[in-house]
């Protein structure tokens, strides 16, 4: 249990150290609303995620996989 707390603390520290920036994961272009869309204009939307969230999610998924493999092997 203590090892889990240390690992989660390390993941949280890594996520915090990643900074407050963001990553653009997708750019979506679609027709503009209303009369502008009829005239052929488009609008672009950028989908962004915070870097700290991406680092934290990746760390938690990786740690979960590690614990699952250890449990499947019979090592706790």
Q: Where are the domains of the chain?
A: 2-73
pLDDT in tens, the chain (76 residues): 667 777 777 777 766 665 667 778 889 999 988 898 889 999 999 888 887 777 788 888 888 888 888 888 886 5
C-alpha closest to that of 18 among 64, 56, 45 = 56
Entry pTM: 0.51
12 bridge partner residues: none
Phi, psi of 26 (to 5 degrees): -160, 150
- pLDDT for residue 16: 65
Q: Helices (H), strands (E): how many in the chain?
A: 3, 2
11 is written with which tokens? 């993941």
């Amino acid at each position: 249990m203590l090892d889990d707390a240390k690992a989660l603390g390390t993941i949280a520290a890594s996520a915090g150290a990643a900074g407050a920036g963001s990553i653009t994961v997708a750019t979506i272009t679609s027709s503009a609303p209303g009369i502008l869309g009829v005239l052929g204009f488009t609008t672009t939307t950028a989908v962004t995620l915070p870097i700290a969230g991406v680092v934290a999610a990746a760390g938690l998924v990786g740690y979960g996989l590690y614990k699952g493999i250890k449990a499947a092997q019979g090592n706790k």
